[in-house]
Amino acid sequence: MAARMWTVGVLVLVAGTGGCAPEAKSRAFCVVDTDCPAKLVCDEGVCWAGAESASDLPGAAGSGGAGGSAAPARDAESSDGPGDEPDATSDDALTDGEAGTSGDALTPEEPFENPPGESRCQITETHAECTHNDTQFMNRLVVWQVPLGEAPAGGWPTVVVFQGSGFGPDVTWAGDSSLPFGGFHQIRVQAALLDHGFAVIAPAADGVAWATNFPNYEGSSDHLFIPALLDALEGGEFGALDMQRLYATGISSGGYMTSRMAVTYPGHFAALAIQSGSYASCSNVLCAIPADLPDDHPPTLFLHGQNDVAVPIATMQAYDAALKAQGTETKVVIDPAVGHGWLKVAPEEIAQWFMDH
């Protein structure tokens, strides 16, 4: 169980237990309970579910469990604050003059803003939101949107965005720059895709996380869901979409799930972008890259924080090396100041990667 839950980027690691508190997931920062979604409570500045407060969690001081604090250590999962933003680096991607910045920065250097009426989204330095449609499909929520204007003759090129653990699509279409794990930049990613002419489809996992790196993926509900979703996309249930230009991206559990598209559903996706993830069946440090990857593995963009402890950067680098060895096109963007979270440069990098493929 401990190895499996390491893949959940928003689980609270409990010091001294060798595992985690699987029912306690931070959802947002808060001051009072009313700042949190329904059924969550505000404790120590974070919205919690599954426990009355952080002090009630297994392993918390005074809880009767193992010693150590159960409050989420955000400093270990994020970069330094504003005013302390080293440039992003890339081992084979960014050229001189292409400077990225911290994935948790509160103030983008050049805020992406659209005049009212010219975008589905409104982005400022501290807040981002996009209009969207909510559809129930196979007992799951799918949040989606298409660009403004008339669809091209072949339909909109389309990006499937796989959620990270504990952060479903119901909470990733509006928020401010204090969102944990660079969530603000995920909204910016979706905005950039829409403004560059991509439809965005964001399905919910069946529970906290995708089953891609759980035992027996082929027997999971996700393996039933994905082919049905692909059929629905092709059938027009989410607008006029171009299935010849289908892409996938996601963070953490969603990054592993993005890899799963290449492994189990070959031939469907033109390119992938994996944020803070690795190969489909990897789990934290437990990561064995197969000797034979799919010959038709899509070109893959990797974005990663150097200080990621939930998905160690070495696991991504091993995946990238294996793809390069077989001749698959890849690009790697690393931010030395970020832990486990979306990079600030993700909107531009992902939109450009998909436009190029």
User: Which residues on neighbouring strands pair with residue 88, listed in sequence order?
Assistant: 100
CA 232, chain centre distance (Å): 23
pLDDT value for 84: 35
Q: Provide the residue-wise pLDDT of the chain in tens; the chain has 357 residues.
A: 333 333 333 332 222 333 333 333 333 444 556 655 565 555 544 445 543 333 333 333 333 333 332 333 333 333 333 333 334 444 443 422 333 333 332 233 333 344 455 899 999 999 999 999 999 999 999 999 999 999 999 999 999 999 999 999 999 999 999 999 999 999 999 999 999 999 999 999 999 999 999 999 999 999 999 999 999 999 999 999 999 999 999 999 999 999 999 999 999 999 999 999 999 999 999 999 999 999 999 999 999 999 999 999 999 999 999 999 999 999 999 999 999 999 999 999 999 999 999
Amino acid at 236: G
Among positive and negative, which fits the CA dihedral 331, 337, 341, 343? negative
Which residue type is seen at 339?
G
The pairing of beta strand 127-130 with beta strand 174-176: antiparallel
CA distances from 317 to 88, 188, 251 (A): 16, 25, 16
The CB density around residue 97, as the number of other CB atoms within 10 Å, is: 5
Of all helices (H) and strands (E), which one includes residue 303? strand 300-305
Question: Running DSSP on this structure, what letter comes out for residue 283?
Answer: B
Q: What is the DSSP annotation of 18-47?
A: SSEEEEEE---B-SSGGGSPTT-EEETTEE
Amino acid at 327: G
pLDDT at residue 43 in the model:
54
What are the tokens at 61? 């001081």
> CB neighbours of 92 closer than 8 A, spacing ≥ 6?
330, 331, 332
Neighbours of 232 (CB within 10 A): 17
pLDDT at 141: 97
> For residues 83 and 80, what is the distance between their CA atoms, to the nearest angstrom?
8
Please state the length of the chain. Answer: 357
256-278 burial: b if 16+ Cβ within 10 Å, else e: bbbbbbbbbeeebbbbbbbbbbb
Predicted TM-score of the model (pTM): 0.70
- Which sign does the torsion angle of CA 202, 203, 207, 209 carry? negative
Does residue 145 contact residue 202 with C-beta atoms inside 8 Å?
no
Domains and CATH numbers, the chain: 2-72 (no CATH), 121-356 (3.40.50.1820)
**The pLDDT value given to residue 315:** 98
Q: Report how far apart, in Å, the C-alpha atoms of 257 and of each of 23, 51, 79, 283, 300 are.
A: 22, 28, 25, 12, 13
Which residue shows structure tokens 């279409």? 173
